[in-house]
Amino acid sequence: MESFAALAQGVMVALQPANLLFAFVGVMLGTAVGVLPGIGPALTVALLLPITFKLDPAGSLIMFAGIYYGGMYGGSTASILLNTPGESSSIVTALEGNKMARAGRGGPALATAAIGSFVAGTIATLGLALIAPTVVDIAISFGPEDYFALMVLAFCTVSAAFGSSVTRGLTSLFIGLTLGLIGIDLQSGQARLSFGIPDLLDGVEVTTLAVALFAIGETLSVAAAGARADEIIEPVKGSVFMNREDWKRSWKPWLRGTVLGFPIGAMPAGGAEIPTFLSYALEKRLCRKPEEFGNGAIEGVAGPEAANNAAAAGVLVPLLTLGLPTSATAAIMLAGFQQYGLNPGPLLFATAPDLVWGLIASLFIANAMLLILNLPLVGIWVRLLAIPRPWLYAGILVFATLGTLGANPSLVELGMLVAFGLLGYVLRRYDYPIAPVVVGLILGPLAEQQLRRALAISVGDPLTLFQSPVALVLLALAALALFGPLLFKLITGHRAPVGADED
């Protein structure tokens, strides 16, 4: 079993004291930002990119992964106690979790979310370790046309999965692709869409765009909502421990959520939202007391939370093995790899096995840390929810501009931050998803590279894109992702039950 040998090697890397510290800082930060409304793991990692530039790559990436996992745990706390999901993938958790909190059962709700996340995260990370070498073996034989098809698939699924309509998702994606064009074309040396502004020659920084869309756009939206957004924090009453019945009702939903979440997250279809919706629907159907659903059924917290965390681990499969980000956080993490000159993909497993397997092993450690942090210490995280909104958002903007200035101390960069922030506000206001913009900016140039490589090999014959069987299958799946919801609507007369957003 080459996986286990490699994983054992990775455990040695992850157990180095410095890396343990990075993992700890990551999960602490991740939980905090997951709990706080308005900031998620994507934004946090984006803010940290310029600051970690000079640090050790393995340590920084372990920290980013800790933030990613931590954000998933923290998101459930905000959903349950505040009824405002900190993360989009916690929307479903809020449905039953907040009802439980209002009924004085906030403790068990938090516990089943945390333990379920731990169970699902551990199983799914094991799945990641087992499946990654296989995917790498397959991917190593991919030609440029196959990679191009894979990216087209990611474009289509990201556009279709996020947002309320495919048109809106594609619009966001193309905004990102257009931004990806800006700058000097590396193959011909020609400046594109830079209108003679020297700051634009290097292209649009991923961090600037992500920070602007997530931090500034969100702050503007919340400010514009004014007094509309009033929230009540439910205090945690009673014990945080689950009784026998809670355990009995939780363990099956945990496992079912894992089984739903991991494969869906691992497919280049991406997103942790869809499996949470599916898990909720499944548990509602299987529950012995369906009348409790809508009034605080513990199954409705246990299942979706497990699905959420399993999918989060699943998203790392295409990211690490193919270099394909399928969520906003994964896209920013890809930028994190790139800042160290590392390109995730099959080659990374050969060139930097210690780093990749150290990262995977650290995920197990992060998961265990998170369980400990979240169960007994939940009271501390709850206090974060009490930070007054004006100070919270003022602080977010201070750190957003600090991160941008730290990466590139230029006023033009800050101006771009404000302009993209306004773009983010407009997108939110009119219900266009944010994640495809970020994915488009990062994947667009990579897709162009593969497209030109494929066409150069075939001396300009575009038919080459459709001649590989792998590429054909991937393109067919892409078409299905785009037109599937439309077909679903035509056949059943209902809109497809997706339409979640972000992170």
Partner 1 sequence: MSETSASPSGPDKARLAIAAALGGVAAVVGWDAWRLSNVAAHSAVGPAAFPTLIAVGLALLAIANAVEAMRGIDEARPRDELKPMAWVLGGLLGQIALLPFAGFSIATGWLFAATARGFGRGPLWAHILAGTVLSFVIYILFAKGLQLSLPAGPLERLI
Based on the shown chain and the rule CB under 8 A, indicate whether residue 188 belongs to the binding site for partner 1. yes
Question: Segment near partner 1 (CB under 8 A), from 71-79, 262-270, 343-351, 409-417?
Answer: 409-417
Based on the shown chain and the rule CB under 8 A, indicate whether residue 472 belongs to the binding site for partner 1. no
**CB 119, min distance to partner 1, A:** 33
Based on the shown chain and the rule CB under 8 A, indicate whether residue 341 belongs to the binding site for partner 1. no
8 A C-beta contact, residue 139 and residue 477 = no
- Of 251, 12, 25, nearest to 118 (Cα)? 251
Q: Residues 266 to 305: which contact partner 1 by CB under 8 A?
A: none
Q: Which is nearer to partner 1, 11 or 496 (CB)?
A: 496
Q: Which is nearer to partner 1, 12 or 422 (CB)?
A: 422
Which residue in the set 193, 368, 375, 470 belongs to the binding site for partner 1 (CB under 8 A)? 193
The alpha-helical segments, DSSP class H, found in 352-464 are 353-374, 378-384, 389-407, 411-429, 435-457
Interface mask (CB under 8 A) for partner 1, residues 420-449, using x and -? -xx--xx--xxx----------------x-
If you ran DSSP here, which 8-state letter would residue 228 be given? Answer: G
Q: Residues 125 to 164: which contact partner 1 by CB under 8 A?
A: 164
User: How far does Cα 74 stand from its chain's mean position?
Assistant: 14
**CB 458, min distance to partner 1, A:** 9
Give dist(CA 27, CA 44) in Å, integer. 12
**371: CB partners within 8 A, 6+ apart:** 114, 115, 117, 118
Which residue in the set 238, 290, 379, 415 belongs to the binding site for partner 1 (CB under 8 A)? 415
Which residue in the set 11, 24, 174, 251 belongs to the binding site for partner 1 (CB under 8 A)? 174
Structure tokens at 266: 């691992």
8 A C-beta contact, residue 217 and residue 434 = yes
Q: What is the 3-state secondary structure (H, E, C) of 81-134?
A: HHCCCCCHHHHHHHHHHHHHHHCCCHHHHHHHHHHHHHHHHHHHHHHHHHHHHH
Give dist(CA 9, CA 11) in Å, integer. 5
Give dist(CA 223, CA 324) in Å, integer. 34
Based on the shown chain and the rule CB under 8 A, indicate whether residue 224 belongs to the binding site for partner 1. yes
User: Which residues make up the interface to partner 1 (CB under 8 A)?
Assistant: 50-51, 54, 164-165, 167, 170-171, 174-175, 177-178, 181, 185, 187-188, 190, 192-193, 216, 219-220, 222-226, 228, 388-391, 393-395, 397-398, 401-402, 405-406, 409, 411, 414-415, 417-418, 421-422, 425-426, 429-431, 448, 451-452, 455-456, 459-460, 493-495
